[in-house]
Amino acid sequence: KNEVEQSPQNLTAQEGEFITINCSYSVGISALHWLQQHPGGGIVSLFMLSSGKKKHGRLIATINIQEKHSSLHITASHPRDSAVYICAVRSNFGNEKLTFGTGTRLTIIP
């Protein structure tokens, strides 16, 4: 079983829909990251969470430490949101290793 599991693997939605991408992990963590990888390949850091909820524009990230689960929400989705969204966790053992999920490929249809 992978330490970081994302669901769904692929998601296609119509423009304007509310999007939820889930991330579950199996280890104790000090932080969880959400990243965005566009078709061109570049990776952008969206959020870093250790508790609660963060919001940036139309993006909202939440984390439940007890349930070892995080969600990334996109409100009023737009075709430019089409990308691969990656969850990564840093364990609380103090090393440098981030463990990455395999990503959720999101396609927003106009």
Residues that bind another protein (CB under 8 A): 2, 4, 31, 33, 35, 40-45, 48, 86, 88, 90, 96-103
Are the C-beta atoms of residues 8 and 102 closer than 8 Å to each other?
Answer: no
CB of 83 to another protein, least distance (A): 13
CB of 37 to another protein, least distance (A): 9
CB of 95 to another protein, least distance (A): 9
Dihedral angle of Cα 94, 59, 64, 6, to the nearest 10 degrees: -80
CB of 101 to another protein, least distance (A): 6
| Distance from C-alpha of 61 to C-alpha of 75, rounded to nearest angstrom | 11
> Which helix H or strand E contains 33, and what residues bound it?
strand 29-37
User: Could you give phi then psi for residue 75, rounded to 5 degrees?
Assistant: -95, 150
